[in-house]
Amino acid sequence: MTTRYTRDHEWVRQDGEHATVGITPHAAEQLGDVVFVELPAAGASFSKGQEMAVVESVKAASDVYAPVSGSVVEANAGIVDDPASVNADPAGSAWFVKLKLTNPAELDALMDDAAYAAYLETL
């Protein structure tokens, strides 16, 4: 499974026709202590770039955009109950949603590990 990244600091990990989406450790660190997460309901569908979730820290509220098009198969209730987990394990257990992909080819346009690391260097 490869992980891809957006310029808005979402990560997306493909598993066949499904993909898991979260925010990157860089995003979580920049936000500071996350206090609230709002996730879409299962069944909701999004096209690439649409606002999909909201993550709120003590200093900012930010939108999370759909990195690729798809419909929500599952939203992670764990991070709604424990928003601090987004700071603790953003790339792992604190995933936001699992999507059923409508256009898997969109993943090819996103950054891989090396490209994202290089992108962070430019910020």
Partner 1 sequence: MRYLPLSNADRAAMLATIGAQRIDDLFADVPADALNATIDLPPHRGEQEVERILGAMAAKNRTAASGPFFVGAGAYKHHVPATVDHIIQRSEFLTSYTPYQPEIAQGTLQYLFEFQTQVAALFGMEVANASMYDGSTACAEAALMARRITKRGRVLLSGGLHPHYAAVTRMNSELVGDTVTPMPLDPAGEEDIAAAIDDATSCVIVQSPDAFGNLRDLRPIAAAAHAKGALLIAVVTEVISLGAVMSPGEMGADIAVGEGQSIGNGLNFGGPYVGLFATRERFMRQMPGRLCGMTQDADGKRGFVLTLSTREQHIRRDKATSNICTNSGLCALAFTAHMTLMGEAGLRRLAAINHQRAIEAADALAAIPGVKVLTRSFFNEFTLRLPQAAEPIVERLAARGVLAGVPGSRLWIETPEADDLLIVAATECVTGEDIERFCSVLTSALEDLR
Give the footprint of partner 1 on this chain (CB under 8 A): 36, 38, 56-57, 59-61, 63
Q: What burial class does residue 123 get, using C-beta atoms within 10 Å of its C-beta: 0-12 exposed, 13-18 middle, 19+ buried? A: exposed
Q: How far is the CB of 80 from partner 1 (least distance, A)?
A: 12
Cβ closest to partner 1, residue 19 vs residue 37:
37
Cβ closest to partner 1, residue 36 vs residue 119:
36
Q: How far is the CB of 96 from partner 1 (least distance, A)?
A: 17
b/e code 12-37 from CB counts within 10 Å (16+ = b): bbbeeeebbbbbbbbbbeebeebeeb
C-alpha–C-alpha distance, residues 15 and 63, integer Å:
24
Cβ closest to partner 1, residue 86 vs residue 110:
86
H-helix or E-strand spanning residue 84: none
Cβ closest to partner 1, residue 67 vs residue 83:
83
- Contact between 26 and 9 under an 8 Å Cβ cutoff? The reply is yes
Q: How far is the CB of 29 from partner 1 (least distance, A)?
A: 18
Q: How far is the CB of 11 from partner 1 (least distance, A)?
A: 23
